[in-house]
Amino acid sequence: MDLIPLPQVAVPDGEGRRYAFGPAPALAAGPGAEGVARWLRRELGAATGWELPAPAGGARGDVRLDVDPGKLDGLGPEAYRIEVGADGAELTGATAAGLFRGAQTLRQLLGPDAYRRAPLPGRTGWSLPYAAIADSPRFAWRGLMLDVARHFMPKDAVLRYVDLLAAHKLNVLHLHLTDDQGWRIQIRRYPRLTEVGAWRERSRWGHRASPRWDETPHGGFYTQDDIREIVAYAAERHVRVVPEIDIPGHSQAAVAAYPELGNTDVVDTAALRVWDDWGISENVLAPTEDVLRFYEGVFEELLELFPAEVSPFVHIGGDECPKGQWRASEAAQRRIAELGVDGEDGLQSWFVRHFDTWLAARGRRLIGWDEILEGGLADGAAVSSWRGYAGGIAAAEAGHDVVMCPEQQVYLDHRQAPGRDEPMPIGYVRTLEDVYRFEPVPPKLSAEAAAHVLGAQANVWTEVMENQSRVDYQVFPRLAAFAETVWSRLPEPESRDYAAFEARMTAHYARLDALGVEYRPPGGPLPWQCRPGVPGRPLEGVPPIV
């Protein structure tokens, strides 16, 4: 049935029979299924022209939705079952989230045209194959990190990616909202964060070794109502939004807006601008109580925008914090002595531990990149393991929950093939097959530690992705492979049937086409997808990392 991700159980009718819909099918929704029914009426109605009314006069309906955990006992909250036969399609979910995952499968079964926004003229004859499908995800955290700080993605583009995640049964959107190159979320008590911090004068064109520049000013931000809309839109599709505010490094945009946040005794912070280059800025936050109070104010507003019931985790970054300014700062050295911490590394840990405690006191869970392990964490904190598996292994063995996102496997900004045609080729080759063979749970983990692996996410850093088309190219089709690795219960990586997955992708490319996704074609980039003459990194001939 060419389903992606691969269901746990899918039994087609051996005789090839199909249920044919009439011109005005009905949709019946039981208690708890109302939200999924609204979604189906909106999405399938747009593609087919159907109104999908409730059945009249006690009729059963062509499509029937039910939330009944008893029928899927022990299979988890996102489990679902679909049965298609002579009387139509019956979908059952353990919860509304599970039912919604089943609705996504139903849409795939209807064919690629079910993803269009208007009916195609003359398109009739909608049908479903007789089948029995029972399914549930392997992992609870199945995510994508979108870096909207380096290159801003307008609100509509973010909402579109929520839909694309949902279509692939992914359930976490991690938004990287702040960095040296831009601050992307409105904070009412600190208006200069967006008045100043959301805009840079120009951007380097290509990797930071490139001599070329795009002299067009770049920026943008989400208003608080934009964020509320994104969170609500995602919640309707059972996608959790995890916000990230970087501290204490990756903070030049914030310091440019409020110079007192920086190390004023070693740098003329009043002269700083939002950074126009890529890499890691030396301009980090000063280790003062005033800076803590400032960011507490930021997080207070953030927590109002991301309610705990839909976004229990808050990401604080915590990675890649250069220590040069702290070493040179008399104020920072006094702070080290006052706190009794272990040098400049101890100051970074002090920042992390403060907000670990602060967030926990407000019923939230801190999550950060694996550098946050270096100073010790509260029991509820979680770790995003990006520098390979090592950080995740250490965190899980210490009893912390882990999201696996190792750069070597699931950084989708890395190039998809060798050769000079890849647009602004960054990192190392990560093919569709490489991503399909990604395994979130490293074999070295004990069974007890493996239970702390919440799941995995693919990360998309946008330094060289200047618009939606470039993001699409880097993310797809590899996100489809990633979705299968975190949803389906696949064999060990070396035993996975990549040829079968590749065959199912033939139908999936047609779905992506209908959705308007500008993916990388299997045969390589199209002429307008290339960026000739723009240097990437590493250069040709540099050996890959292992």
The residues that are catalytic are: 179, 250, 320
Phi-psi region of 16 (alpha: psi -120 to 50; beta: other; left: phi over 0): left
Does 5 sit behind a cis peptide bond, omega within 30 degrees of 0 on the bond before it? Answer: yes
CA-to-CA distance for 184 and 152, rounded, in angstroms?
A: 8
Burial class (CB in 10 A: 0-12, 13-18, 19+), 447: exposed
The phi and psi torsions of 540 (rounded to 5 degrees) equal -55, 140
The phi and psi torsions of 204 (rounded to 5 degrees) equal -70, 140
Transcribe 470-506 into DSSP letters: HHHHHHTTHHHHHHHHHHS----GGG--HHHHHHHHH
Beta strand residue intervals within 4-108, DSSP E? 9-12, 18-20, 27-29, 63-67, 80-85, 88-93
- Give 347's Cβ-side CA count (13 Å radius): 29
SS3 sequence of 159-224 = HHHHHHHHHCCCCEEEEECEECCEECECCCCCCHHHHCCCEECCEECCCCCCCCEECCCEECCECH
In order of 17, 55, 77, 107, 427, the CA distances from 131 in angstroms are 9, 23, 22, 14, 43
Q: Which of 34, 46, 312, 43 is nearest to 166 (CA)?
A: 43
Transcribe 369-437 into DSSP letters: EGGGGGG---TT-EEEE-SSSHHHHHHHHTT-EEEE--HHHHBTTB-SSSSTTSSS-BSS---HHHHHT
What single-letter DSSP state applies at residue 106?
Answer: H
Burial class (CB in 10 A: 0-12, 13-18, 19+), 50: buried
Q: Going by DSSP bridges, is the β-strand pair 240-247/218-219 parallel, antiparallel, or unpaired?
A: unpaired
Contact status, residue 261 vs residue 252, Cβ threshold 8 Å: no
Contact status, residue 105 vs residue 3, Cβ threshold 8 Å: yes
What single-letter DSSP state applies at residue 110?
Answer: H
3-class secondary-structure state, position 70: helix
The phi and psi torsions of 252 (rounded to 5 degrees) equal -65, -35
Contact status, residue 387 vs residue 406, Cβ threshold 8 Å: yes
List the alpha helices (DSSP H) in 258-329.
Answer: 289-305, 324-328
Contact status, residue 490 vs residue 484, Cβ threshold 8 Å: yes
CA-to-CA distance for 73 and 88, rounded, in angstroms?
A: 24
